[in-house]
Structure 1
Amino acid sequence: METIRFAVEDGIATLTLDSPARKNALSLPMRDEIGEVIRRVRADDSVRALILTAAGTDFSSGGDISSMQVEINAEQGRKRLHKVHGWLEDLIQLDVPVIAAVDGAAYGAGFSLALTADIILATPRARFGLPFLRMGLVPDCGVFYTLPRMIGLQRAKALMFSMRELNAQAAQDLGIVMEIVPADSLQERARTLAQAFTEASPVAVGLTKQALNASLNQDLHTMLAMEADGQGIAFSTAYRREAADRFMAKQPLRYRWPD
């Protein structure tokens, strides 16, 4: 791959945007390569968590402006984005937790990509923004779905209309960023969180994530049914039986959240 790096080690997959000279702009080749990685992660049962991160001093400056200088009609524009949507939906719906480690700028589609994660870590110098309207464009890469669910409809509208830049603290105050960590500790913290999931039940984690993703689109009856079905499956796993045995024997349980 030419624009990203990908590795799986000890159950942790790491996708690194690797075009630092271009501030990791999401070029068309990079989008295709991300799609290939997501397909690999979905097919690899050994993966227990995915880290999204970037080389250099910026997470991603967003869409590649040079590719926007080409004249395209409405149908071509729709097809270009539909190609991204093919893997974007798979990324959001991955059964394994996704952790975004954000340093520097996460603008436009770069911000949208970070929002696909279940957990966003940021350094104090991280910056987030959605300047699509400045270019006469509509916010994209799933942000109409992810952002209102995270911060509420009115705040999502305000961010898109105002194009206001958020620093790390403002993003944390809104509930976008879970933790702010020093830049030199960002990758270590992301890996520590990912490592915790390698000791969790992949079935229980996957079912929990599926239910949470569905919760804002479903009624109470549907969510209670998902809960009962999921718990029935979880009860039947060897992991649950082992955890019960450990508990009764007063032995440490395998999964714990790192401080």
Structure 2
Amino acid sequence: MDKNSNAYTFIFAVGMVIVVAVVLSFLATSLKPMQDKNVKQEKMQNILNTFVGDSLLVDGKKVLLTRELASEKFDQYIVNQYALNHKGENVDGKEAFNIKLANEIKKPVEEQVFPLYEANYEGTNYYVIPLRGSGLWDAIWGYVALKEDLNTIEGVIFDHKGETAGLGAEITTDWFQESFEEEKIKNDQGDIVGVEVKKGYSGGKDKSDNQVNAISGATITGDGVTKMMKERLTKYKPFFQKKKNSKLAIR
């Protein structure tokens, strides 16, 4: 066949498309187990990060909480996993870690399953709740660890899909996440209100006003964090009440 003909060019182009498609399909298939492992380990890392921080003491030495280390230590610190219904009852046959929050939040509340992780670290119990909402451009998500009083925040971690670098993407920075530490999620009346990311906040270090300072130029993303926290946390009120009643009964 004449290599300068249109037919040859067309056949060559089609052949290359097929070869590239086969190679990409093979790579996607062969790399999927590794990708799934990385996603799983990153999830473990994020959950532990909310109450452990970014490092752990291992054999007396402070070690960075890597994905691999988080995978190794996860079951040591996570003592219970709950898959709750809207009444705060554990759902049989469901595993908290395998629940995809992106799918759950699209369902009616009565059909949703709410994952929750109970942790014990250095003799203290924490409750870690997954979060998911919307930022300016796309989804935002994270985890919040509550202390045993089910009101005080031990730590949070946030992430996003497409927020603007230097603006909304700042929700992933240490300074923003650390501002949530010791904040309360309930108001003075005991209602769950979450934590408001407030533009022009002037409360200083007040940890009882349910507010933190906003990110300059990222009002919509900040509002997304506010709504996400309140919307998700209020869904755990029945569980919180059961825990509170259980503690009172024990006393």
With normalisation by structure 1, the TM-score equals: 0.26
Instruction: Considering fraction of residues, name the structure with more strand.
Output: 2
**Which gives a bigger RCO, structure 1 or 2 (Cα 8 Å, sep 6+)?**
1
Instruction: Considering fraction of residues, name the structure with more helix.
Output: 1
With normalisation by structure 2, the TM-score equals: 0.26
